[in-house]
Amino acid sequence: MEMSEAHAVLASARRARVDPHLSIKTYDPEADMMLLHFGPQHPSTHGVFRMDLHLDGEIVVKATPYVGYLHRAVEKLCEKLSYVMLTPIVDKNDYVAPMTNEQALNMAFEKLLGVEVPRRARWLRTILAELQRVASHLLWLGTFTLDLGGALGGGSTLFLHCFRERELILDLFEDLTGARFHYNTHTIGGNRHDLPAGFAAKVKQVVAVIEARLPEYAALSLDNGIFKARTTGVGVLDGDLALELGITGPVLRASGVDHDLRRDAPYHAYDELPVNVVVGHGGDCRARAEVRFAEMRESLRLVRDAIDGVPEGPINGYKPIRQPTMAKSTGGQVYVGIETPRGELGTFVIGGGDTPTSPYRLKIRPPSLHSLSALPYILPGQTVSDAVAILGSLDPIMGEVDR
């Protein structure tokens, strides 16, 4: 089949929804198709993720994703341990944004145990969540450009720049919690570490540095000819399909759906600190990149506004926990979802059971798993190199996909 002809056929097929379960034998038994195993160890899969790509020439005809290569049995572990022991465990799920993992888990426990979080702790959590969002998006931008340009194609320039700025935010977290990575700073009812002296000034300095450098990054990526050519019109995801698949976060907003839990179902201090929701249009890789850029700017603004207004008061509203047995649930089922850098991270907990100090069943709803499930729908019709760009633009973190 000619390249242009194949593009035309597949472009029309893309307007109708692809059936991901159709057997590959029904496509064209005569065609000289190739099966390409992509992953599970590939630098562009952002972890251990595998796709089987059926190719006609360079065009993907069918994509079958496989996950589970990092299935660490977190949900089974959560049934063994007590409520207060679980925060450091879920840190490792979405290892690019551990702060928001801890928040999602502890908010579910707070709802289950009926604990009120003091206002200072809620402001603190807001600031940490927004800083984490910037750090996470910076890591996404660095690796995404690395995927597009390759280490020798100019992509690594932005990779090095983004990691430089990400380190500034990690330094702030290290000041606050003592850890670079897995913080363990949220507990049931509030936070563990209060702001150290001079923290606000440091935050403002970091925010100013990153804000000043963002236009430079936009010039290196969004305005770059190669970047434009690799992302515009590539991997178009329809808003209706995105909703149906349960996709949330920047990927959903890039498809033109105005939905953000920070504004629509406010938690933390977002009712006092209004968020301007960024909505993209087009649903392609470029729209997803633009949404994340604008979100970084918005988060930095939010942090700058919030850091001076942190109210005084206690940072933990729960009794100090000296023993794991002190947090007990008599039963009930709760679900709490929050907006993390990747979308709605939810925690569903069933309390009670034979051991009241640990959850009977705990399910983590990972936003990345839902994003990845779009791949069989949007990959057919694209080239193999576009598959890398599309996967990168969805920003999956395999730790939370597989748990």
Distances (CA, A) of 98 to 58, 120, 183, 275: 38, 20, 7, 22
Alpha carbon distance 84, 329 (integer Å): 12
372-391: contacts with another protein (CB under 8 A): 373, 377
Q: Does 24 bind another protein (CB under 8 A)?
A: no
Q: Does 232 bind another protein (CB under 8 A)?
A: no
**Concatenated DSSP letters for 68-82?**
-TT---HHHHHHHS-
Alpha carbon distance 269, 124 (integer Å): 9
109-168: contacts with another protein (CB under 8 A): 139, 142-143, 159-161, 163-164, 166-167
Window contacting another protein (CB under 8 A); options: 197-205, 216-224, 308-316, 326-334: 326-334
Rounded to the nearest whole angstrom, what is the least distance from the CB of residue 8 to another protein in the complex? 25
Q: Does 281 bind another protein (CB under 8 A)?
A: no
Alpha carbon distance 106, 317 (integer Å): 13
Identify the CA nearest to 227 among candidates 44, 375, 388, 389.
389
Rounded to the nearest whole angstrom, what is the least distance from the CB of residue 95 to another protein in the complex? 4
Task: Give the 3-state secondary structure of residue 364.
Answer: strand
Given candidates 116, 223, 258, 305, which one binds another protein under the rule CB under 8 A? Answer: 258
41-60: contacts with another protein (CB under 8 A): 41-43, 47-48
**What is the greatest pairwise CA distance in the chain?**
72
Q: Does 216 bind another protein (CB under 8 A)?
A: no
Tokens of 65: 């994703």
Given candidates 28, 180, 271, 324, which one binds another protein under the rule CB under 8 A? Answer: 180
Of 79 and 175, nearer to another protein (C-beta) is 79
Calculate the CA 290 to chain-centre distance: 16
Q: Does 271 bind another protein (CB under 8 A)?
A: no
Alpha carbon distance 362, 224 (integer Å): 45
Q: Does 332 bind another protein (CB under 8 A)?
A: yes
Of 96 and 195, nearer to another protein (C-beta) is 96
Rounded to the nearest whole angstrom, what is the least distance from the CB of residue 243 to another protein in the complex? 4
**343 bridge partner residues:** 340
Q: Are 343 and 365 in contact (CB under 8 A)?
A: no
Window contacting another protein (CB under 8 A); options: 220-228, 244-252, 281-289, 308-316: 244-252
Window contacting another protein (CB under 8 A); options: 203-211, 237-245, 268-276, 283-291: 237-245
Rounded to the nearest whole angstrom, what is the least distance from the CB of residue 119 to another protein in the complex? 23
Q: Which single residue is written with the structure tokens 């604990």?
A: 115
Site residue total, another protein (CB under 8 A): 75
Q: Does 338 bind another protein (CB under 8 A)?
A: no
Alpha carbon distance 88, 181 (integer Å): 11
Q: Are 279 and 256 in contact (CB under 8 A)?
A: yes
Distances (CA, A) of 246 to 278, 314, 346, 349, 378: 19, 37, 12, 20, 15
Given candidates 268, 370, 388, 395, which one binds another protein under the rule CB under 8 A? Answer: 370
66-105: contacts with another protein (CB under 8 A): 66-73, 75-77, 79-80, 89, 92, 95-96
